[in-house]
Amino acid sequence: MGANVLIIEDEAAIVDFVVDNLRQDDHQTQSATSVREALVQLRRTRPDIVLVDIGLPDGSGLDIIRSVRGGEAGDPGVGIILLTARAEEQDRLRGFARGADDYVTKPFSYPELLARIAALHARLVRSTSHDVICVGALRVDVSARRASVDGQAIGLPAKEFELLVALARDPERVFEKTDLLERVWGYRNSRTTRTLDSHASRLRRRLEDASPGSRFIINRWGVGYALVAGV
């Protein structure tokens, strides 16, 4: 999937070169040649990634980064790659301090720029995509830490939520107690299975209260627990 890239740079030759190449690689591109124009474009085009030159005719690219991360221009979560000259090492550090994600040094090779855009875009997509697990009537939104049954939200304490996620990631599988203890509490200790048992029984009760007559958590005596589709 292509990224929507805004290039902010006052050297026309660089803009043309980058725009031509990115378009051939199926990215969408916009460009701006000044701070003023950049702020307008940021609000108008909602880019995924912004390439920011530091030395612009009416100011510094660093000010653009500050405006973006401060929520004054466009999406504060946009990916930012600095375009810096070799002599601008201090500015590069200032750029990172203001929230730039990466940089390339001019003159840069196009494959290097493309690789950095792709890597940053993949990171952004991962961090914003929602991790949702559905098992029968149960829906677990892992990113938002919310669970519901038949659309009815269930309030769960942190460890019960994590236990639910561990079980729901692999429905029907019977997880051994020591395995669940390690996944949810992060240690191996056979003496603390009582902790797991009490959390599992509270979790089971909450799910059953939300959907009377259905069973989600199954206790396989002497082995461990499984999550099933709730019938």
**Closer Cβ to Ca ion, 8 or 217, answer by number:** 8
Kind of pairing, strands 79-85 and 49-53? parallel
Beta bridge partners of 84: 105
Selection from 132, 133, 102 nearest residue 115 by Cα: 102
Min. distance of Cβ 104 from Ca ion in angstroms?
A: 14
Q: Least separation, in Å, of the C-beta of 18 and Ca ion?
A: 13
Minimum separation from the CB atom of position 14 to Ca ion (A): 8
How many residues at the interface with Ca ion, by CB under 5 A? Answer: 3
Question: Among the candidate windows 10-18, 64-72, 164-172, 191-199, which touches Ca ion by CB under 5 A?
Answer: 10-18
> Residue 40's closest CA among 4, 83, 8, 2?
8
Contact between 199 and 159 under an 8 Å Cβ cutoff? The reply is yes
Q: Taking CB under 5 A as the criterion, which residues in 79-98 touch Ca ion?
A: none
Residue among 83, 128, 117, 103 at smallest CA distance from 2: 117
Q: Is 163 helix (H, G, I), strand (E, B) or coil?
A: helix
Q: Which residues from 15-54 bind Ca ion, rule CB under 5 A? A: 53
Kindly state the smallest distance separating residue 64's Cβ from Ca ion, in Å.
12
Q: What is the DSSP letter of 58?
A: T
Is the Cβ of residue 41 or residue 211 nearer to Ca ion in the bound state? 41
Nearest-5° angle of CA 154, CA 156, CA 157?
165
Asked if 155 and 145 count as a contact pair (C-beta separation under 8 A), the reply is no
Least spacing, CB of residue 16 vs Ca ion, in Å = 14
- Taking the least distance from each CB to Ca ion, the nearer of 91 and 162 is 91
Residues 165-184 close enough to bind Ca ion by CB under 5 A: none
Site membership for Ca ion, residue 10 (CB under 5 A): yes
| CA diameter of the chain | 73
Q: Is 55 in the site for Ca ion (CB under 5 A)?
A: yes
Q: Which is nearer to Ca ion, 66 or 202 (CB)?
A: 66
- The site for Ca ion (CB under 5 A) is made up of 10, 53, 55
